[in-house]
């Protein structure tokens, strides 16, 4: 019997995450950045503003540093200090990229990188190239996340559509673990069957003990048989020779192919 395991995509949000670029995160960062800029002190020189922005950026918070960079950029432009103006501008553009403005930000960097001053100044050139690399990496991750979200938004396949794609002796088993009782949903050409399994704590204990024994190179045959009889066997159709497993919880860690049936197979 062949067994394959397929993990279903799941979206887990840990509060407000930067990489997901939610509007709430952007709004909160803008508020924090505005407070920081307003309390920066009116007597600061452009060089002091630039140093403060650099310190914040070194901590990885380009978005909060952006308004300070913008203010320093204007002051250096007014003073005719083109080099420091570009330094501050590249810092500000890092903040723009953090907000998801990849295309417009990249166009500005590509235009500025051809500036003779940038081409002749190794520090500015490295800064510009690092910014370009960050934009390209972030835009790639954004595109990937967007494709994943588009997949998640697609309507689920109907039971009849799944059944039509199943081979004669093939079963798809999706596990759903819960505290008191767990379930195995078995889909085959014949239809859908729901099998009751032990609760999550019992299954997780068996999985933990089995994996611990494997890691320590201890004899785990009895645990492999117990997992087969209590988790997999109740969900198997009599004529299934090929099984597709969609695990849940700790079952994601379980190598189903290593389980042993009552005949030692």
Question: How many CA within 13 A on the CB side of residue 82?
Answer: 6
Sequence-distant (6+) residues with CB within 8 A of 259 are: 224, 225, 227, 228, 231, 232
Whether residue 192 contacts residue 186, with contact meaning beta carbons closer than 8 Å, is answered with yes
Nearest Cα residue to 112 out of 103, 124, 122: 124
Place of tokens 């103006």: 85
Pairing state between β 2-5 and 170-176: unpaired
Whether residue 133 contacts residue 155, with contact meaning beta carbons closer than 8 Å, is answered with no
**Ordered per-residue pLDDT tens for the chain, 265 residues:** 555 554 443 333 333 444 444 444 455 455 555 545 554 444 589 899 999 988 888 777 877 888 899 999 999 999 999 999 999 998 888 877 766 667 788 888 888 888 889 888 888 888 888 788 777 776 665 566 656 556 655 666 677 888 888 888 888 888 998 888 899 888 888 888 888 999 999 999 999 988 888 888 788 888 889 998 899 888 886 777 788 888 888 898 888 888 888 665 5
Residue 47, φ and ψ in degrees, nearest 5: -65, -35
* Pairwise CA distance, residues 101 & 110, whole Å: 14
Sequence-distant (6+) residues with CB within 8 A of 206 are: 223, 226, 227, 230, 231
Domain-wise residue ranges, the chain: 23-153, 157-258
């Amino acid at each position: 019997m062949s067994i394959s395991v397929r993990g279903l995509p799941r979206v887990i949000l840990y509060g407000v995450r930067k990489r997901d670029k939610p509007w709430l995160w952007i709004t909160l960062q803008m508020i924090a950045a505005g407070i920081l800029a307003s309390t920066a002190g009116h007597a600061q020189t452009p060089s002091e503003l630039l140093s403060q922005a650099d310190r914040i950026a070194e901590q990885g918070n380009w978005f909060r540093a952006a308004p300070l960079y913008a203010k320093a950029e204007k002051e250096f432009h007014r003073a005719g200090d083109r080099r420091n103006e570009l330094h501050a501008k590249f810092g500000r553009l890092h903040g723009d990229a953090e907000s998801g403005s990849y295309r417009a930000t990249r166009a500005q960097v590509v235009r500025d990188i051809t500036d003779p001053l940038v081409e002749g100044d190794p520090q500015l050139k490295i800064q510009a190239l690092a910014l370009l690399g960050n934009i390209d990496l972030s835009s790639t991750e954004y595109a990937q996340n967007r494709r994943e979200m588009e997949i998640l938004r697609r309507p689920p396949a109907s039971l009849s559509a799944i059944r039509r794609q199943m081979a004669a002796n093939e079963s798809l088993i999706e596990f759903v673990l819960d505290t008191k009782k767990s379930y195995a949903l078995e889909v085959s050409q014949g239809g859908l069957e729901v099998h009751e399994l032990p609760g999550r704590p019992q299954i997780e204990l068996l999985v933990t003990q089995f994996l611990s024994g494997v890691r320590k190179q201890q004899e785990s045959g009895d645990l492999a048989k117990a997992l087969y009889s209590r988790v997999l066997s109740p969900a198997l159709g009599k004529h299934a020779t090929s099984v597709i497993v969609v695990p849940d919880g700790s079952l994601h860690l379980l190598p189903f192919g290593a389980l042993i049936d009552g005949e030692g197979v």
